[in-house]
Structure 1
Amino acid sequence: MSIVRLQILVLLDELKKVTAVAEEIGVKQPTVSFHMKKLEEEWGVPLFEIKTGKVILTDPGRMLLRYAVEIDRLYKEAQTRFQSYRDHGKHGFVIGCTDAASSLLFGLDWRQQSAEQNPIRIQLLTGRHSELLEQLQAGAIDLLVSGSFANPDALPQLQIEPLAQERLLLFMAASHPLATQAALPPYKLAGHRFVELADASLQDALRGWELQEKVTLPYEWSTDRMDLALSAVENAGMLAILPAFAAGRTGDRLLHPPLPGQAVSLKLAAAWRSDYWNPAFVQRIMAQLARGGAKAVETSGAAEQA
């Protein structure tokens, strides 16, 4: 089996022209035609047909395409990983996490400790849970740190372990009308503007709080970055419900009383593929993350009391 021929199959499905594929991979047209012929001989069925000057995949061709796309993706991923190893002398380990998770678990101390203890090059990517989960399942990232694993039974190919949890607080400017109210009933929040942190696990926790307290919060703006949510609170007079560790970012500029009513926490977990090639190393990373999470929660608890 030739990787190049499978790549040509993928490109023919996309570009429809032999000349376009030849130009894309930097070879002459007869070379592409040769590989097309050899690919059909290898699989013993017609894979291509020409219609109105375009190359169309036959039914067997489309059947093979599904495997060719995945093989091409894995090959390119391997190329990227090995290039990183050649460039840096360390194999790469990619951690994907939501912004809320990165804020809690990946402080400067963790990065320094990780660099000292691990003979690898760690790459940290932030994004939305759903997008990162797709990358984890495809093998593009090695570990996902998030909170939205509401139905782990639906992900049997993944190992999922809890990491930390953090209480949610109400953030407001000192000049906000609610800042002077000592006892704040939940229903009074409904009349004020909110900025939403677009983190699925946090949103799930708040939906349960809204049902319990019979309140619907009016979100005027949404962002997946905690620093932008805090900026909206400080500069636009909005309210936000964020994990307690965010208080460490605000100093004395913002108030952060407990969320009124039922106490709610953001729960974080980590997931990795069950077939990951080095499970012992994943457990080492998990141990570091657990220590980092415990330290961050302890620090944010002190900030909350202050």
Structure 2
Amino acid sequence: MTDRYKTFMILAECKSFTETAKRLFCSQPTVSQHIQQLESEYNCKLIKRHKRAIELTDKGNLLLQYAKRMQYLQDELRHKMDSLIATHLQVSLYLSHYVASHYFDELFQNSKQLTSLYPCEMYSLCYEELKKSLLDKHAKYTIMPIYESDPIMIERFHIESLFEEEFSLVIAKSHPLATRKVLYAKDLEAEAVLLPQSVHLAELIKHALHVKDVSVYYMKMTNFDLILKGVQQGLGVAFLPTKMVSSDVAVTQKIIKGLSIKRRTALVRDMEQPLTDGEEAYYEHIKARLQNVTIA
């Protein structure tokens, strides 16, 4: 909005050339000049004097309505532009439910300096949702598990390993195998094995048992947390990340001799999308925190 419209709006409010000049820190002739320019542009009288006060003509009132609307639109535009700038500076982080639940402290403890400089928004998603976010170009990088059975991810994206976790056998304290010091795969014969809905992780577990020629039956559950509850209630046994159950007194962890199930977690990056300074800062921060993490 030009200065003359601002002058006109203040004059309409103050109804005095003297007061308007004071408000604008300018001279009265400048105020008069701005009004004359507007009257010349619209070829009409915008103000009239009445008992030493300034009043608007009908056309002056019409111009005032539009001037206020222009002021509103200008303020709205400025707000939206500022919001877009803030959105551009904000970093979107995509990570697996498991990492969000069990590695949040490792990621963000004492990280106020980073999060203050580059505010972030976090999306905790399942494997397939994270994969789709990358393929659809919504995410530039994600923190997620890597499976050899899904070559699309390995071929399409840059994989930077963060850590590898062992999945141990988890059984209820009351389970007959809980007191055994050494377990073999054959000890699981005819047991119910609780599996996650994740196809790739379920296949990883099933393959490890198939190689050992163990006959078990499977029950699928939504996620690790639900599986753990199932184990606690004696619905079956499960293979879960050691870190997740290391401090759970309701269950027992066991190592099966000759059977190893491991899963790798990595930063998966779309190299076709350049990173902003903020995204780069978080990328390096995540690497530094999780590549040096101690797995319980």
TM-score (norm 2): 0.61
Question: Separation in 2 of the partners of 1:255 and 1:195?
Answer: 15
Flag structure 1 segments of 5+ consecutive residues without an equivalent: 1-79, 301-306
Counterparts of 1:237 and 1:265 in 2: how far apart (Å)? Answer: 24
Q: What are the Cα deviations for residues 203-254 of structure 1, in whole angstroms up to 9, with x where unaligned?
A: 3432431232122442223222x2222111112442110111112451x221
CA distance in 1, matches of 2:146, 2:96: 10
Q: Which residue among 78, 83, 95 is the counterpart of 1:97?
A: 95
Residue of structure 2 equivalent to 1:290: 287
Q: CA deviation at 1:292?
A: 3.4
| 2:233 partner SS | helix
1:272: which partner in 2? 269
Q: CA RMSD in A?
A: 3.1
Cα distance in 1 between the residues matched to 2:184 and 2:120: 45
Q: Percent identity?
A: 16
The yes-or-no answer on 1:241 pairing with 2:239 is yes
- What residue is the counterpart of 1:189 in the other structure? 188
Structure 2 unaligned segments of length 5 or more: list them.
1-79
Instruction: State how far apart, in whole Å, the 2-side matches of 1:283 and 1:123 are.
Output: 15
Residue 221 of structure 1 corresponds to: 220
Q: How far is the alpha carbon of 1:256 from its aligned partner?
A: 0.7
Shift of 1:279: 6.3
Deviation readout 1:89-134 (Å, 9 max, x if unpaired) = 7733223233333344x32242234443242233332333222211
Deviation at 1:200, TM superposition (A): 4.4
CA distance in 1: counterparts of 2:143 and 2:137, whole angstroms: 15
Partner amino acid, structure 1, of 2:263: L
- Superposition deviation, residue 183 in structure 1: 2.3
Report if aligned partners of 1:163, 1:269 keep a CA contact under 8 Å in 2: yes
**C-alpha contact 1:172 1:237 (8 A) present in aligned 2:** no
Shift of 1:199: 3.5
Asked if the contact 1:170–1:259 (Cα under 8 Å) also holds between the matched residues in 2, the reply is: yes
| SS of equivalent to 1:191 | coil
User: What is the aligned residue count?
Assistant: 215
1:141 paired residue number = 139
Indicate the residue corresponding to 2:209 in structure 1: 210
Residue 269 to residue 294, structure 1, CA distance change in 2 (3 Å): closer
- Which residue identity is paired with 1:168? F
- Counterpart of 1:61? none
Q: Is the 8 A contact 1:167 1:244 kept in 2?
A: yes
Instruction: Assess, with a 3 A threshold, how the Cα gap between structure 1 residues 183 and 292 changes in structure 2: closer, same or farther.
Output: same
For residue 229 of structure 2, what is the aligned residue in structure 1? 231
Specify whether residues 94 and 256 from structure 1 end up closer, same or farther in structure 2 by C-alpha distance, changes over 3 A only: same
Aligned to 1:127: 125
Tell me by how many angstroms 1:141 deviates: 2.4
- 2:114 corresponds in structure 1 to 117
Structure 1 segment 156-175 matched on structure 2, within 5 A: 157-175=156-174
